[in-house]
Amino acid sequence: MESANAKTSTKTPSYTAEAVDRARSPVPEPTISIQVIERAMRLLDTLAGEAEPMALKDLAQATGLHTSTTHRILNDLVVGRYVERVDSGMYRLGMRLLELGSLVKARLNVRSVALEHMRELHKVTGQTVNLALRQGDEIVYVERAWNEYSGMQVVRAIGGHAPLHLTSSGKLFLSAWDTAQVRAYVLRTGLAANTRNSITRYEDLDRELALVRRHGYARDNEELELGVRCIAVGIHDEGGELVAGLSVSAPADRLHDSWIPVLQEVAGRISVALGYEPMSD
C-alpha cells in the first residue's frame, strides 16, 4: 500500500532560503555599460552638487577616480563645452548643458501648449503645420499636425532637422541675429544647397533676412525640397525670446498668402500662452 501511494503522490517542490531571498529581492537597477560614460556622468553630477568651481584633485577624490583618469575625461568634457575650465585651473559645469536644458524645456513647454492650436490651424488650411526649434545651426521639427489628405507627403518627420537658411522657420532665427552672427553662420556652413532654389550667397541671404524682419514672417520657396513651399511665423516666450517657428507647408502651387494673418494669429496665441506680452500700440 505504501509503495502504491508513493507512485501516485505529487512531489512538492522545495525552495532553498537563498532562492526565496532572490525571488523577494527587488529587480536590480539598470547599470551603465560603457565605463567612460559612467565616469563622465559621475564627474558632471559631482560638479552639479557644488556651487563653486572644483579643483582636479578634489574632483578625483569625490568621484573615486584616479587623477590622470579624471584629467583625461575632464579634457574631453571641456572640448564638448559640458565642462568649463576657469583660469585658476578649477572646473565647473559648461554652457552646453544650459543650452541642452533650455532646448529640452522649450520642447516640452512649446509642444504641450502649441499642439491644439496647430490642429486648429491645420483644419483652416488643410495643409501640414510644423513646429520647429533651433538646435545649433539647424532646425529640429518637434511637432506636426497633418493627415493623409494634406496634399503632400510629410517632408521631415518629427525629430528631423535641416539647415537654418533652407527653411522658413530657420530664417526666423537667422533674422534675429546680428550681422556678425549671420556671417559666422555662413562661414561655418558654407550655405550648402539642397535644390536649385537654395540660397548659397551671403548677399542673397542678407536681403532675404531683411524681408523677414520687415514683414514679420519668413518663406521657404522650394529651397529645402522642390515642389514644397512654406511660410513661418515666430513664437516667443515670456522673456520675448524667439523659441520656435510655426509654419505651414504645402505643395508649391497650393500655398496661399491669405493664410499669413491666420498663421500670425495662432502663433500669437501660443506665445501669449507661454507668457509673452505683446507690445501695445
pLDDT at 262: 96
pLDDT at 25: 44
CATH architecture classification, 35-93:
Orthogonal Bundle (1.10)
Cell of 214: 520687415
pLDDT at 150: 55
pLDDT at 20: 39
pLDDT at 18: 43
pLDDT at 275: 85
Q: Hey, CA dihedral for 264, 265, 268, 274, is it positive or negative?
A: negative
pLDDT at 212: 98
DSSP secondary structure code for residue 230 in this structure: E
pLDDT at 28: 44
Segments of the chain with pLDDT less than 50:
1-29
Write down the domain spans for the chain: 35-93, 99-273
pLDDT tens-place string over residues 87-145: 778 999 998 888 787 767 666 688 889 999 999 999 999 999 999 999 999 999 999 99
pTM of the predicted structure, to 2 decimals:
0.65
Q: How many helices (H) and strands (E) does the chain have?
A: 10, 9
pLDDT at 110: 87
Cell of 89: 585651473
pLDDT at 87: 78
pLDDT at 10: 42
pLDDT at 281: 53
DSSP per-residue letters across 133-193: EEETTEEEEEEEE--TTSSS--SS-TT-EEEGGGSHHHHHHHHTS-HHHHHHHHHHHTT--
CATH of domain 99-273: 3.30.450.40
CB 221 within 8 A of CB 178: no
Q: Where are the alpha helices (DSSP H) in 25-94?
A: 35-48, 56-63, 67-79
